[in-house]
A and B are shown apart, each in its own frame.
Chain A
Amino acid sequence: MQKIPQWADVVLVPLISLLLAAIISALVILAIGQDPVEAVKLMVIGALGSTYGWGYTLYYTTNFIFTGLAVSVAFHAKLFNIGGEGQAMIGGLGVAIAALYIPWPHWSIALLACTCFAAIFGALWGYLPAILQAKRGSHIVITTIMFNFIAAGLLNYVLVNVMRPPTSMDPATASFPPATHLPTLHDLLLPLGINFSRTAPANITLLIALLAAVFVWLLIWRTRLGYSIRSFGQSGSAAQYAGINPVRITIITMLISGGLAGMMSINTTMGEAERLILNAPEGAGFIGIAVALMGRSHPLGVVLASLLFGFLYQGGAELAMWMAIPRELIVVIQALVILFTGALDNMVRMPIEAFFAALRKSGDAK
């Protein structure tokens, strides 16, 4: 039933989609009277041309890997978790509580503990929609997106009324104690003789993100639980017939998904801001959906797609700084990529399928 070869599915389709998005973006930039070649150059150099650029690109990439994995895991059980944003916010709350109220002797212990707190808090925020879906049939898309708003409201209340230092008017917690500050890539790479940018926010969380990707791969394709999740996603009734408990699988999948989304906040809250701010996930929860779609819910695909979106984010920031391109148009460019790689997938896929079918036919005729 393989209509097109694997390599075409994994490489060719996304590349052509990207190319189309790039062409339309170029037309948009041209239409507002700017030079698209200059813009591309600025984006590439700004995002990949220096360790500073890489530092920001990888910082965003780390966020997207976590949320992309979160969405992917849920996808395998055909659960559409669009609550990554809220789960990450509440995960951030867990990080802040752990980092502020417990005196940690060393960053490594703090990192372990905060990771657990972030995952548990994020998982709990995924647990409620999961229960509602599993036991009451409330659709997970609706409940998770509503829980994003509840999370934002809760976080705002906590930051403004409880955790804000009395003299500050910024709705944010106090800065975390120095013992919890994570080593950046600069600190990690210096012993290896690489002088990475000191100011870029990419930090050790990147390694945790990559570990999480390996963990998800093992979980989905190498464990019984992963098999249950996949069978439940392929056909709920068949899985149930085979003795897989749908309530249990729904809840466990959402716990894992929420935990992964929550872990994103280690990067933003502990790694970058070193305090909890409002809106710390900055939309990464939603970008995670596009990342999972583009990465075909495979951890390797998610990592690559995250890198692409990290590039778009950092490149976009450079565009905004050095060219007269308003930020709305940078969102347009990012949206075009999402549109072509996610929503308009079939537009590219079908002609390619036809092309390969024709190729095969002419091969058979000979």
Chain B
Amino acid sequence: MSLMHKFLGAATALSFSAVTAIAEPALIFDLGGKFDKSFNESAFNGATRWATENNSSFKEIELQSDAQREQALRRFAESGANPIVMAGFMFATALGEVAKDYPDTKFAIIDMVVDAPNVRSVVFNEHEGSYLVGMLAAQASKTGTVGFIGGMDIPLIRKFACGYVQGVKSVNPDAVVVQNMTGTTPAAWNDPVKGSELTKAQIAQGADVVYAAAGGTGVGVLQTAADENILSIGVDSNQNYLHSGKVLTSMLKRVDNAVYDAMTQGADLETGFNIMGISNGGVGYALDEHNASLITADMQASVDAASGQIANGSLAVHDYMSDNSCPVE
């Protein structure tokens, strides 16, 4: 027994020495995976930008299962990582548990509100950005039918869809919006094959612009849209470059900025509630050399006007999550 104790003691000492030397920020990706070309990758880019500018490094983990959320948070907190940034609303419950056990560690959660004194909650007004790309979609569409492909069927994605439909209808009240969700499990964030099938189905129903709000699944949507010669709209990161001239625009959700800001502030992270909307550059649409030929001056003018109105509050886009319903379909 005492031998066992010695062994365990030595092993524990070893495991602690392996992890104590770090005092750097940590980033935890959600189940979609780091290189989803979308949400998680945007977070990764923000962290990488911070690391290169400061000639520093950060800890990271891609989760395999839900049980690892709390585990990863605790392990990073115990290792002294500060702040700990997590990309995804699914961390809320785990963070609620963990945050109070590590009062000296600062946490930042994206897409969700966790009410604790050492947590910064960053939420985005995705409905505003989706409204803008919806306007662009309606103006670019020749058939009057546009598509929406969501990832996992959850309120957050319905929030994207609702903003998008409102944008489409504001330009063309008679437009038809075909909506599909990829799936009902977190696997739906990372299923490009299904995304591709759904795109084909929507094309068959007449859609000629398809908006993918589906994380890694969107890669399949954009690919198929390009193959079938229709337009697509990317999400979260600027995905215009993926198929130059075939991607109408991307709904930018500046997750990278949120991560970058959190890491820049470091251990002195300002906690509390942080809304990233059009007014403070948190969401928007992407315009670059890859889609310049697709966006006419008229289109740009109308969207910029709406953008200004949303920013100054004269145009309100309905937020699905405020009452769990959408006034338009």
Contacts and interface: CB of A to CB of B under 8 A. Distances in A.
B185 A169 contact: no
Interface stretch (A209-217, A319-327, A350-358): A319-327
Given A169-B154, A199-B74, A321-B75, A45 B11 contact: yes
Contacts of B112: 169-170
A46 interface: yes
A166 B12 CA distance: 44
A331 B64 contact: yes
Contacts, number: 93
Given A46-B15, A327-B62, A279 B185 contact: yes
Nearest to B62: A327
B185 A320 contact: no
Contacts of B321: 169
B93 A152 contact: no
Nearest to B187: A279
B213 to A, nearest CB: 14
Interface residues of A, number: 43
B99 to A, nearest CB: 13
Interface string A265-306: 000100011010111101100000000000000000000000
B15 A283 contact: no
B297 interface: no
Given A56-B71, A160-B154, A322-B19, A172 B93 contact: yes
B8 A330 contact: no
Contacts of A326: 34, 62
Given A278-B186, A320-B62, A327-B64, A45 B18 contact: yes
B215 to A, nearest CB: 15
Given A279-B185, A279-B186, A45 B14 contact: yes
A343 to B, nearest CB: 22
B33 interface: yes
Given A49-B11, A322-B18, A156 B68 contact: no
Interface in A40-58: 42, 45-46, 48-50, 53, 56
Contacts of B71: 56, 317
A203 to B, nearest CB: 13
Given A156-B153, A169-B156, A331-B64, A321 B72 contact: yes
A164 B59 CA distance: 33
Contact of B89 (A170, A277, A278, A327): A170
Nearest to B74: A199
Contacts of B12: 49-50
A178 interface: no
A143 interface: no
Contacts of B34: 326
Interface string B302-329: 0000000000000000000100100000
Nearest to B92: A170
A282 B67 contact: yes
Contacts of A317: 64, 68, 71-72
Given A152-B185, A170-B93, A268-B67, A42 B62 contact: no
17 contacts: A49-B8, A49-B14, A50-B8, A50-B11, A160-B153, A160-B154, A160-B155, A169-B89, A169-B321, A268-B67, A272-B67, A317-B72, A321-B61, A321-B72, A321-B76, A326-B34, A327-B33
Given A155-B184, A156-B153, A169-B89, 15 more contacts: A45-B14, A49-B12, A160-B154, A170-B90, A170-B92, A171-B154, A172-B93, A272-B67, A278-B186, A279-B186, A317-B72, A321-B72, A321-B75, A322-B19, A326-B62
Q: State the 4 A-B residue pairs at the shortest beta-carbon distance, nearest first.
A: A156-B184, A49-B11, A282-B65, A169-B155
Interface of A: 42, 45-46, 48-50, 53, 56, 59-60, 152-153, 155-157, 160, 166, 169-172, 175, 199, 201, 268, 272-273, 275, 277-280, 282-283, 316-317, 320-322, 326-327, 330-331
